[in-house]
Structure 1
């Protein structure tokens, strides 16, 4: 009878033996952390482009108020200054959120969604409450397309609604893949 050849030591509970991957953890040759979820690439790209278009409309709104909506003595009125500042600040914030959306960052996508919803609510609800105009008069001015500022704001609202839909889609449909 021949003796049995020596057998390797069976794996022991606790630490894995050198060169053997664990069953529960990542392989020693792989990435030590699982990839973070990212926003859907196509929807994020669409949302980012729509956000940039909406930002361009806000810049148009601000420039209209700088160039056209001044009083006879050449000084802007209070509402014109407010329109210039809010249009410019809103455009800058929208571009920043669009940049994070292009990078497919989940918080950036949801921030873009929130900003777009806020802009729509602010134009339809906030502005009439602050300035004391009726909702009907606000909607009539907004969608009359009779001058540059109402056209710019109407297009901003339309683009903001579309951007919010695309951003919600990008944030809801996540991908866990690599850096594509």
Structure 2
């Protein structure tokens, strides 16, 4: 008994998939990508937010060295969290620049998370009253509060642009 001969147009079990366009005259649907203008805008805003986080981390390094010559617990926390968050933002911005829809949603989620963490997470962990945290953030009296306030502004704008980039899909060739 011999196996059935392959049928034209449909791959058989165990047979390699034919390359090229489908034989029935239809072309394959192009892969959806994030909206180009919104993805570029979100990526640029995310890079600006990452720059503000680096500014915040560097400010803490300089204050620690100038003030007491050593690193306190909160200073180490600020340096590590600022550095890690900026790296994550840059990676998510890169995937958003590449117009990847999951990258744009990741950028959106991380921007929202970082804003909520600064407003609500840090006061809960550090025991700071919410009003004092908001006053510090938007007082613009020190360089670190200015960096965090600008990071919040850029993160909110990047989150909005990333959500638009991910939800308004483009089809066609990669540009």
**What TM-score do you get using the length of structure 1 for normalisation?**
0.83
Is residue 41 of structure 2 the alignment partner of residue 41 of structure 1?
no
Deviation, structure 1 residue 70? 4.6
| Structure 1 residue ranges, 4+ long, deviating more than 3 angstroms after superposition | 69-73
Is residue 137 of structure 2 the alignment partner of residue 135 of structure 1?
no
1:1-180 matches, within 5 Å, as 15=8, 21-23=23-25, 25-26=26-27, 33-70=28-65, 72-180=67-175
Deviation, structure 1 residue 111? 0.3
Mapped partners of 1:165, 1:73: distance in 2: 41
Mapped partners of 1:152, 1:178: distance in 2: 39
Question: Structure 2 vs 1, CA of residues 56 and 72 (structure 1 numbering), >3 Å: closer, same or farther?
Answer: closer
Deviation, structure 1 residue 22? 1.2
From the CA coordinates, give the structure whose radius of gyration is larger.
1
Match of 2:17 in 1: none
Mapped partners of 2:131, 2:68: distance in 1: 32
Mapped partners of 1:168, 1:132: distance in 2: 32
Question: Which segments of 5 or more consecutive residues in structure 1 lack a partner in the other structure?
Answer: 1-13, 27-32
1:140-176 Cα deviation digits (max 9, x unpaired):
0000000011000000000000000000000010001
The number of equivalent residue pairs is 157
Superposed CA RMSD: 1.6
What is the SS of the residue equivalent to 2:148? helix
Deviation, structure 1 residue 15? 3.5
Contact kept? 1:70, 1:80, Cα under 8 Å: no
Question: Which segments of 5 or more consecutive residues in structure 2 lack a partner in the other structure?
Answer: 1-6, 10-21
| Higher helix fraction (1 or 2) | 2
